[in-house]
Amino acid sequence: MKLMATMMVSLDGVYQGPGGPDEDRRGGFDRGGWTAAHADAEMWPVLVSMFERADALLLGRKTWEIWEPYWPQHDDNQLGHAINTLPKYVPSTTLKDPTWQNTHVVDGDVEAAVRELKAKPGGELQVHGSGVLLRWLLDRDLVDELNLRVYPVVVGDGLRLFPEHGESHDLTLVESRSIPSGVMLQTFRPNGRARFASADD
């Protein structure tokens, strides 16, 4: 399977709490719900098409905790049904005996487990949100495709996808388009580490 990661980010790189004020208040974050003003009906078919390609989900512990009380109550649409029924793999040393259907805890060698999942036949192993996990996967060159939904908002606070100090990445832009709300849909293919040189070289 190809590992495809997708993330909603603001123009200043924030990924925390896109869906609502109480979604993720880590660190006292009080600016959640920053995607609401840019809701767009054209996003729905994009998401449906994305989940149709998924054979399994790889979710960070926090994203799983946000989704777990919500999606079982919304199984009456294509996204909800897909999320509920797809296998969900969650790297965690503290999550025990999850009751949400098809949840599998990865509590051993996470890198080996991800490589084993990628080696299985199928379409896509998808990572949604899960910023800490996504950075970890990128640093180990485990991501095959990065899909960013960039919202025309500067949040000004919150957890950012790429920290001030971290690993470098070079990315190849595969596809880019926007929808009427101003959200940019950008698909990248990781291309190793960034290269540094003089601009006139």
Query: And the tokens for 12?
Result: 């200043």
User: Is 103 within the bounds of a domain?
Assistant: yes
User: Is 201 within the bounds of a domain?
Assistant: no
Query: And the tokens for 183?
Result: 């959200």
Residue 200 has pLDDT above 80, yes or no: no
H or E element that contains 118: helix 110-118
User: Is 199 within the bounds of a domain?
Assistant: no
Read off the pLDDT of each residue in 140-159 and give the average, rounded to a whole number. 98
Q: What CATH number did the domain enclosing 149 receive?
A: 3.40.430.10
φ and ψ of 191, to 5 deg:
-135, 50
Burial code (b: 16+ CB inside 10 Å, e: under 16) for 63-85 equals: bbebbbeebeeeeeeeebebbbe
Mean residue pLDDT of the chain comes to: 95
Is the alpha carbon torsion for 127, 129, 130, 136 positive or negative? positive
Q: Which residue range is the domain that position 55 belongs to? A: 2-190
Give the Cα separation of 151 and 156 in Å (integer): 13
User: Is 195 within the bounds of a domain?
Assistant: no
- pLDDT, tens digit (0-9, with 9 covering 90-100), for 3-61: 999 999 999 999 999 999 999 999 999 999 999 999 999 999 999 999 999 999 999 99
- pLDDT, tens digit (0-9, with 9 covering 90-100), for 55-96: 999 999 999 999 999 999 999 999 999 999 999 999 999 999
User: Is 197 within the bounds of a domain?
Assistant: no
Q: Where are the beta strands (DSSP E) in the chain?
A: 2-10, 54-58, 88-91, 103-106, 124-128, 145-151, 171-178, 184-190
Read off the pLDDT of each residue in 166-179 and give the average, rounded to a whole number. 96
User: Is 110 within the bounds of a domain?
Assistant: yes
Q: What is the identity of the amino acid at 97?
A: D
User: Is 145 within the bounds of a domain?
Assistant: yes
Q: What's the total number of domains in the chain? A: 1
Give the pLDDT band of residue 201 (cuts 50, 70, 90): low
pTM of the model: 0.93
User: Is 48 within the bounds of a domain?
Assistant: yes
φ and ψ of 27, to 5 deg:
70, 20
Read off the pLDDT of each residue in 134-153 and give the average, rounded to a whole number. 97
Give me the pLDDT at residue 7, please: 97
